[in-house]
Amino acid sequence: MNTVYLPVIMNGEEPMADGEYISFGQTFTKVLDVSKFQDKNETPERPDFRKARAKGTRAVIMRVSANFGVDEDAEYNWKAVQDADMIPLAYHWFEYRAGVMKSGGDQAKTCLDTIDMINGTVENVPLFLDYEQPNADWPVLPPYYESIANLSRFYEVTDPNTKRLTGLYGNRNTVYAISPVPTRTLLRPFWPAGWMFNRLMRAEEITGLSWRPNISPWTKFTVWQCGLTYGYEYGMESAEVDLNFFNGTFDQLAEFAGYTIPTEPTQPPEPIDILGELDNIEQAVRSIREKLE
């Protein structure tokens, strides 16, 4: 998508280390998105999300499924992200190629079955549908009415089951394929891909240059995938990982995700010794009587 420039405030030598990033008076919260490609099957190690947390990441959007299959790392990632004290969110990659794709409804059922398996419930799980042409080697997205139908068939299964609006991830090709964008789609959480052409520049530098995605016709974005950063630094087994920003503070992110932030357990008050208290009162009464006598 196109980008615009805005002034940025950097706090300290390591911007975004605390997870929140201030730009043009707005606060953004650092988020990663991952899939099986962040894990090397030839090694026994898995992604270490504690390193991502230490780098300021506060949530991870995980691919849980694609077409009719489960992302092989979905179960591990879902648990590991929470163990690292971060908020889990989910996305499904939509397969649209003729002769390969399952129906939108069938893909939605696969997605929900996977979420139920790894989370124990699908209710209130933040979910995005990734509907995009991934690169120029792939066929273009289906024409307008077919693309709108693909989205509708998916959403009509996921929305009532999660009891929330499923969001949309996409790039400029997505917007082109579904324009004019239906009003009901504009109401959904939007996760745009706003990339620089120089893929050697890490995402922290992109935000330092004040890039923002042009999200028209949406009025705001929920999460912005701004570019690549160094995967190894964030505990991934891939050299690169996608860096995103939630449009708001961490507390607003937790509210959006319906996530209860764990708190330190408090010690229960000491039980009251009723008999002991009565004995103390009786002694005090006797002492007062003795003084009066």
Domain annotation for the chain: domains and CATH numbers: 3-257 (3.20.20.80)
Q: What is the pLDDT of residue 275?
A: 64
Long-range contacts of 252-255 (CB under 8 A, 24+ apart): 252/29, 253/29, 253/31, 253/58, 253/59, 253/87, 254/87
Q: What is the pLDDT of residue 26?
A: 78
Q: Which stretches of the chain drop beneath a pLDDT of 50?
A: 1-17, 196-200, 209, 265-266
Q: What is the pLDDT of residue 205?
A: 56
Q: What is the pLDDT of residue 178?
A: 96
Beta-carbon contacts of residue 157 (< 8 Å; ≥ 6 apart): 104, 105, 108, 109, 112
Q: Which of 199, 224, 66, 194 lies closest to 130, judged by CA?
A: 66
b/e map 143-158, b = 16+ CB within 10 Å: eeeebbebbeebbebb
- What is the number of other CB atoms lying within 10 angstroms of the CB of residue 279? 11
Q: What is the pLDDT of residue 198?
A: 44
Q: What is the pLDDT of residues 229-269, one digit of tens each?
A: 889 999 999 998 998 989 999 999 999 999 765 555 445 55
In the numeric block, which tokens belong to residue 265? 């357990």
Q: What is the pLDDT of residue 218?
A: 92
Residue 203 to residues 165, 209, 266: CA-CA distances in angstroms? 28, 10, 40
Beta-carbon contacts of residue 130 (< 8 Å; ≥ 6 apart): 63, 91, 92, 93, 94, 169, 170
- Stated pTM of the model: 0.81
Q: What is the pLDDT of residue 5?
A: 32
Q: What is the pLDDT of residue 183?
A: 94
Integer-rounded Cα radius of gyration of the chain: 25
